[in-house]
Amino acid sequence: MSETVKTIAEHFANWQAEDAKFTGGNAAAGTRARKALAEMSKAIKVRRNEITAEKNARKEAKAK
């Protein structure tokens, strides 16, 4: 598993924990949940770029 995928999984776990606290009535946890979602979004964009680069490299290698 790549480091980016691990990062996404960690942020997802953090979001789940903070979302549960927020749902339970802790308003401050809502801010932390939103932060985890923002960080996850950044990591997802990085992973999308990694996938695109690998896909293009495979396509190039196959063309040769």
Q: Please, which residues have CB within 8 angstroms of residue 45's CB and are 6 or more apart in sequence?
A: none
User: CA of 23: how far to CAs of 10, 32, 36, 45, in Å?
Assistant: 20, 13, 15, 27
pLDDT at position 13 is 98
What predicted TM-score, i.e. pTM, was given to this entire model?
Answer: 0.84
pLDDT at position 34 is 98
pLDDT at position 64 is 77
Spell out the per-residue pLDDT of the chain, length 64, in tens.
799 999 999 999 999 999 999 999 999 999 999 999 999 999 999 999 999 999 999 999 988 7
Q: Please, which residues have CB within 8 angstroms of residue 8's CB and are 6 or more apart in sequence?
A: 40, 43, 44, 47
